[in-house]
Amino acid sequence: MNEDLSLRDFRRKLINWAMGAVLALAAALVLIPLLSVFAYVVKQGISSVNWNFFTQLPKPVGETGGGMANALLGTIELVLLAMLVGVPWGVATGVYLAEYGRGKFARALGFCVDLMTSVPSIVVGLFTYTILVMPFKRFSAMAGGASLAIIMIPIVARTTEELLKLVPNHIREAGLALGIPRWKVTLWIVLRGSMSGIITGVMLAVARVAGETAPLLFTAFNNSYWSFKLDQPIASLPIQIYNYAISPFEDWHRQAWAGALVLVCFVLVLNLSTRILMRQPRSTR
Amino acid sequence: MTNLNPILEARQINAWFGGTQAIRDISISAQPNTVTALIGPSGCGKSTFIRCLNRMHEEVPGASVKGQVLLSGSNIYDGGVDPVSVRRKIGMVFQKPNPFPALSVAENVAVGLRLAGISKRSVLNETVEKSLRQAALWEEVKDKLRSPGTSLSGGQQQRLCIARALAVSPPVLLMDEPTSALDPISTARIEELLNELKKQVTVVIVTHNMQQAARISDRTAFFLLGEMVEFDETATIFTNPKDRRTEHYITGRFG
């Protein structure tokens, strides 16, 4: 009897250990693609990331050297444009869904937001092309920014909604009981209380759209020069990488890798800084 | 006492959650500068009733109210009355301390005035200090007015919520079991505080704790199953109740 028990005990411990090992292995396997992609990009790109890369315009075909300065700036411009439209719109949608949306319409809207998150980005590009490129007969930064905004909106909306739903109802009641109108309670108490989380969501959405290529292909198109005009085509890092990668020139391949490395680092830094921001000491209750 | 004009008078209050009636024909009145306690077992409708007194009950989806609540003689349920303006005059403190997250101690107190459009620094600072003093919290927090309100202890948070409610200077303060989430020492502090507060405001307080009602209130209403069984001077309720059910509850035979 006693022996039987110790045997079962042993079996239990063995299974526990084996399960732990299987899970650890699964976790390690997830890291392999991530680390190998990163390592490969670093290996291929690091030698070409230099001062010229960040400061110079692309050189014409045949000439070596040059950089992606305009594409870097272009990506920043496009992301800012996307934020300008996408953040307020997304936050407003999230606030509506969490605070005001009741009934069929709100449920349908929530469903649509979920659908929007999974619309392939090439489709978003095509859509923007038909409404913002075809009528003006011109590729433009505006169209590129709009297509990125369309990708941002559902992400920001969902994050905002989830965060506001975490705010306990008694906080809203406390605001109402002070004689504060509901819209002010929503804006200055509920939303403000979730601000750090919403900023996190926005930054993650930015990290996501910064690397999008497909929606820019036929909206922002490309540009070999600096561009600050919203109604003109504009260069961007992902498109530049794409163009250089499919070109037949060795020097361009080299630069494409450098671009890829910079893009990966940009997204990585954005994600990391978001996490560090999140870890800021926050009192909980 | 009854010959004075009551500051707050509820007449025939009925309240529903959807199709379920929670309270039935409840009428009480409170004289200025008194503490009125509402006691009764869980689910007897005392919290629902107190939320009818500043139109918070209707914030629950599907909830409805019938009856009149007169504040200094005018009905807060009259057609044109905005619940927002009612709640400025009838403040509320909840069971669970609920300081606003991401707001500092000072901002928590000032927020009621700020969002009512008062932005003058000197006025706000003055109100913050005055309200925190009224809530007997000033000495403890005067050096950490800028730290988050949620960083205070539970008892301090509750006094912060009292200060926040007092900052908009309501003549009436409703308290829904304000000490039930607190330890005995914090509870004692809030009870002491009530004695001071009633010099300036009229208090209606829901409590689970009969001793608390006996210690702090001038009049007590006993609620049972959505009805008010008895409403009288606190001393009478606790020593010589008229209704057997009150007596049974007071002596701990049920509830």
Is any Cβ of chain A less than 8 angstroms from the Cβ of B100?
A: yes
Q: Which of A167, A177, A189 sits opposite B54 (nearest CB)?
A: A177
CATH architecture entry for A53-277: Orthogonal Bundle (1.10)
Sort strands B202-206 and B172-176 into parallel, antiparallel or unpaired: parallel
Q: Which of A171, A180, A283 sits opposite B98 (nearest CB)?
A: A171
Are the beta carbons of B83 and A185 closer than 8 angstroms?
Answer: no
Partners of residue B75 on adjacent β-strands: B70
Which residues of chain A lie closer than 8 angstroms to B61, CB-CB? 102
The whole-model pTM stands at 0.84
pLDDT higher than 50, residue A115: yes
Q: What is the pLDDT of residue B255?
A: 53
Q: What angle, 0 to 180 degrees and rounded to 10, lies between the N-to-C axes of helices A195-210 and A69-95?
A: 140
- Summarize pLDDT for B93-124 with one digit per residue, the tens: 999 999 998 899 999 999 999 999 898 999 99
Cα–Cα distance list, A70 to A65, A104, A209, A223 (Å): 14, 47, 18, 8
Closest residue in A to B175 (Cα–Cα):
A177
Q: What is the pLDDT of residue A283?
A: 42
B87:A178 CB<8 A: yes
Is any Cβ of chain A less than 8 angstroms from the Cβ of B206?
A: no
Q: Which domains does chain B have, with CATH numbers?
A: 8-250 (3.40.50.300)
- Please state, in angstroms and rounded to a whole number, the distance separating the CA atoms of residues A92 and B105: 28
Q: What angle, 0 to 180 degrees and rounded to 10, lies between the N-to-C axes of helices A103-117 and A141-166?
A: 130
What mean pLDDT is predicted for residues A91-103?
93
Sort strands B8-17 and B20-30 into parallel, antiparallel or unpaired: antiparallel
What mean pLDDT is predicted for residues A21-37?
94
pLDDT higher than 90, residue A102: no
Q: What is the pLDDT of residue B253?
A: 73
Q: What is the pLDDT of residue B254?
A: 67
B59:A176 CB<8 A: yes
Residues 6+ apart with CB under 8 A from A55: A67, A69
pLDDT higher than 50, residue A284: no
Is any Cβ of chain A less than 8 angstroms from the Cβ of B138?
A: no
What mean pLDDT is predicted for residues A241-251?
92
Which residues of chain A lie closer than 8 angstroms to B47, CB-CB? none
Delimit the domains of chain A by residue range: 2-48, 53-277
What confidence category does residue A276 fall into, taking pLDDT thresholds of 50, 70 and 90? Answer: confident
Is any Cβ of chain A less than 8 angstroms from the Cβ of B151?
A: yes
A179:B86 CB<8 A: yes
How much of chain A, in percent, has pLDDT values that exceed 70? 97
pLDDT-flagged residues of chain B (< 50): 1-2
Q: What is the pLDDT of residue A285?
A: 36
**Structure tokens, B180:** 């039930």
H/E stretch holding B214 reads: helix B210-216
User: Which residues between 63 and 92 in chain B have a beta carbon less than 8 angstroms from any beta carbon of chain A?
Assistant: 84-89, 91-92
Is any Cβ of chain A less than 8 angstroms from the Cβ of B141?
A: no
